[in-house]
C-alpha cells in the first residue's frame, strides 16, 4: 500500500479513535496531522509549528473573538432579555405563545451574535423556565429552544460563515447575504412544526398585551434592534468589512450595556472577557490544528481521491449536492461545526465548483448542514448546552428536538432541489 493510502487510514482511524476517547478536538487534529506527517516522511517539527501558526494568522479570523465578545456582552448587559421581552409582548398571548416567543427571539438574536451556543444559552436561561412554569411540555420545549439556537450560524452576522470564508477564500459578505432568506425559512419551519406539536394540548391562550405596553417594550428593545441594521447596513454600503463589523458589534453592545441599559458594571467586564477568551481559545486552537491536518490531507492527495469517488456525479449537480449533503449529515453526528468546516470544506468546494455549483450557495448549504449537526446526537453541542442550562437529562432534549430535526432536514432537501431559493436573493441583493 502507498504512503498516501496509509495516511488516509491514519487520518480516518486516528480521528475516530481520539474522538472516541474524548480527547480535545483541536489536540486530536494536531496529533492526527503529526501522525500523517510521519507516514508521509514529512515529520518536521518546524513544518508542524509553521502550520499551527498559519492556521490562526488571518485578518478575517479577528472577527471571531469580537463576535463572541458581542454575544457575551448581549447576555450580560440585558440586550438578549429585552429582545425576548419584545417577542413575548407581540406573540406571547397566542396559544402555545411561549414557543413562538422562543422562535421569534431566536431569529432576532441570530442577527446579533452569530453563535448557536450563545443564542441557545440565552433562550434556555430565560424562556425555558417560563415554559416550565406555565405547564408547557418540557421535552418539546427544550427541543424547540435547541432547534432555534442553530439559526444563529445562518442569519448574519455568523462566525461559521467567517471561518468558512477564510478557509475556502469565499466572500464573507456574500455568505452573510446568502443566509438571510434560509434563516427566515428555518424560523417558519419551526413555527409550523411547533404548531403541529401542540395540537391536542390544553395550553391556555393568554390575554393580549395592551398596544401601549407593547410599544413601550418594543421601544426598550430599540437599541438592540439597531445592531443588525448597523452591521448589515455598514457592510452593504462598504463602510466596514465583516471583520470590522465584528468590532463594531462588540463596541456597540458594550456602549448599550454600560450607558443606555446600565445593567453592566465595570466589575462585570472581567467575567465577560474571561468567558469570551475561553471560547475564542477553543475556536482558534481548532483552526490551528485543522491547518496541520489539512496540509497533510493535501499532501496525501485525498481531495483527488474524493473527487474520483464523486466524479461520476459531477455531470448532475443536484445529485452531487445530495451526495455531499448526505456525507456531511453523517459527519455532523460525530464532529462539531467548526472542525467540519476546517477539514471538509477545502476538500469538497473544488468538486462542487467543478460541477458548476455556485460557491456561495455551496457555502450556505455546508454551514446549514453543519448547523443541523449541532442538534444531532451523539455530539450535539447545542443539545448539551440546553440540557445543562435547563438541568434536565440529555436524552430528554434529544427526544424533544427530533421533530424539529426532521423539519430542518426537509428544508435542507428543499434547498438541494431548488437552489434558486438561496441564489436568487443573493443575486438580487448584490
pLDDT of 290: 80
User: Residues 250-309: pLDDT tens digits?
Assistant: 999 999 999 999 889 989 999 999 998 998 888 888 888 888 887 887 777 776 677 677
109: DSSP letter:
H
Distances (CA, A) of 157 to 44, 172, 232: 39, 10, 8
pLDDT of residue 1 exceeding 70, the answer is no
Q: How many domains does the chain have?
A: 1
Q: Which residue has the higher pLDDT, 144 or 205?
A: 144
CA distance 76 to 271: 10
What pTM did the predictor assign? 0.86
CA neighbor of 85 nearest in space, from 183, 219, 193: 219
Q: The cell 417594550 sits on which residue? A: 217
pLDDT of 430: 67
pLDDT of residue 28 exceeding 90, the answer is no
CA distance 83 to 88: 9
Q: Sort 244 into a burial class: Cβ within 10 Å, 0-12 / 13-18 / 19+.
A: middle
| Residue range 101-123: mean pLDDT, rounded | 88
CA distance 308 to 316: 15
Provide the residue range defining the domain that includes 191: 3-429
Q: Which three cell numbers stand for residue 47?
A: 513544518
For the ranges 173-177, 350-354, 397-401, the maximum mean pLDDT occurs at 397-401
pLDDT of 292: 85
Q: Which of 97-106, 285-294, 303-312, 397-406 has the lowest mean pLDDT?
A: 303-312
Q: Which residue has the higher pLDDT, 139 or 333?
A: 139
CA distance 198 to 219: 31
Amino acid at each position: 500500500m502507498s504512503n498516501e493510502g496509509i495516511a488516509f487510514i491514519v487520518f480516518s482511524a486516528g480521528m475516530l479513535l481520539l474522538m472516541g476517547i474524548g480527547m480535545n478536538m483541536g489536540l486530536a487534529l494536531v496529533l492526527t496531522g503529526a501522525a500523517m506527517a510521519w507516514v508521509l516522511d514529512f515529520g518536521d517539527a518546524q513544518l508542524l509549528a509553521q502550520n499551527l501558526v498559519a492556521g490562526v494568522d488571518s485578518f478575517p479570523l479577528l472577527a471571531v473573538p469580537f463576535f463572541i465578545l458581542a454575544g457575551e456582552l448581549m447576555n450580560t448587559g440585558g440586550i438578549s432579555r429585552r429582545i425576548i421581552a419584545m417577542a413575548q409582548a407581540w406573540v406571547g398571548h397566542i396559544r402555545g405563545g411561549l414557543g413562538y416567543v422562543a422562535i421569534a427571539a431566536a431569529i432576532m438574536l441570530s442577527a446579533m451574535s452569530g453563535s448557536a451556543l450563545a443564542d441557545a444559552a440565552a433562550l434556555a436561561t430565560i424562556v425555558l423556565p417560563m415554559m416550565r412554569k406555565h405547564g408547557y411540555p418540557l421535552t418539546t420545549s427544550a427541543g424547540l429552544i435547541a432547534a432555534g439556537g442553530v439559526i444563529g450560524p445562518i442569519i448574519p452576522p455568523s462566525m461559521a460563515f467567517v471561518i468558512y470564508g477564510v478557509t475556502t477564500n469565499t466572500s464573507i459578505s456574500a455568505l452573510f447575504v446568502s443566509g438571510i432568506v434560509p434563516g427566515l425559512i428555518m424560523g417558519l419551519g419551526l413555527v409550523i412544526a411547533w404548531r403541529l406539536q401542540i395540537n391536542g394540548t390544553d395550553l391556555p391562550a393568554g390575554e393580549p398585551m395592551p398596544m401601549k405596553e407593547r410599544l413601550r417594550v418594543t421601544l426598550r428593545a430599540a437599541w438592540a434592534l439597531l445592531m443588525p441594521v448597523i452591521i448589515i447596513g455598514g457592510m452593504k454600503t462598504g463602510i466596514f468589512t465583516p471583520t470590522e463589523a465584528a468590532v463594531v458589534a462588540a463596541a456597540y453592545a458594550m456602549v448599550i450595556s454600560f450607558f443606555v441599559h446600565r445593567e453592566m458594571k465595570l466589575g462585570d467586564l472581567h467575567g465577560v472577557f474571561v468567558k469570551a477568551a475561553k471560547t475564542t481559545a477553543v475556536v482558534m486552537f481548532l483552526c490551528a490544528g485543522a491547518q496541520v491536518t489539512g496540509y497533510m490531507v493535501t499532501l496525501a492527495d485525498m481531495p483527488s481521491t474524493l473527487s474520483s469517488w464523486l466524479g461520476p456525479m459531477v455531470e448532475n449537480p443536484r445529485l452531487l449536492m445530495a451526495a455531499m449533503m448526505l456525507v456531511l449529515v453523517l459527519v455532523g453526528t460525530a464532529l462539531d461545526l467548526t472542525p467540519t468546516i476546517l477539514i471538509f470544506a477545502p476538500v469538497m468546494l473544488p468538486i462542487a465548483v467543478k460541477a458548476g455549483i455556485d460557491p456561495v450557495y455551496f457555502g450556505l448549504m455546508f454551514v446549514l448542514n453543519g448547523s443541523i449537526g449541532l442538534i444531532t446526537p451523539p455530539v450535539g453541542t447545542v443539545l448539551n448546552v440546553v440540557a445543562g442550562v435547563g438541568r434536565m437529562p440529555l436524552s430528554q432534549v434529544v427526544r424533544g428536538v427530533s421533530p424539529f430535526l426532521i423539519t430542518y432536514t426537509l428544508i435542507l432537501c428543499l434547498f438541494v432541489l431548488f437552489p434558486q431559493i438561496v441564489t436568487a436573493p443573493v443575486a438580487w441583493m448584490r
